[in-house]
Amino acid sequence: MPRSLNEWGTMFRFITPVLVTVALFLLTQINTTLRQLDQRVYLHQTNAELHVTRTEWVQISRQIDQLRQEILALLKQTAL
């Protein structure tokens, strides 16, 4: 066991490169795993798949409004 500060410095001079090497190895493994995950998750979509036309948007909006009205009507019936 080191008794003086100089002896601690000598120990750290040998320990530090090992710890840095282990840290770099772990970071490389994490980076590789993230790249593999990104390749699995990423799906290329065409422009048509990304965008909704105005008519589709209006239809969806009307369906949502209709469902909302039906739910409110059911809630009013059950509240009576």
| Tens place of pLDDT per residue across the chain (80 aa) | 567 667 777 888 889 999 999 999 999 999 999 988 887 777 666 766 667 788 888 999 999 999 999 999 999 988 76
Confidence at residue 45, expressed as pLDDT on a 0 to 100 scale: 66
Using alpha carbons only, what angle is made at residue 22 by residues 40 and 15, rounded to the nearest 5 degrees? 170
Confidence at residue 2, expressed as pLDDT on a 0 to 100 scale: 60
CA distance 16 to 10: 10
Instruction: Give the Å distances, CA to CA, from 42 to 20, 36, 50, 71.
Output: 32, 10, 14, 37
Confidence at residue 51, expressed as pLDDT on a 0 to 100 scale: 77
DSSP codes of every residue in 18-61? HHHHHHHHHHHHHHHHHHHHHHHH-----HHHH---HHHHHHHH
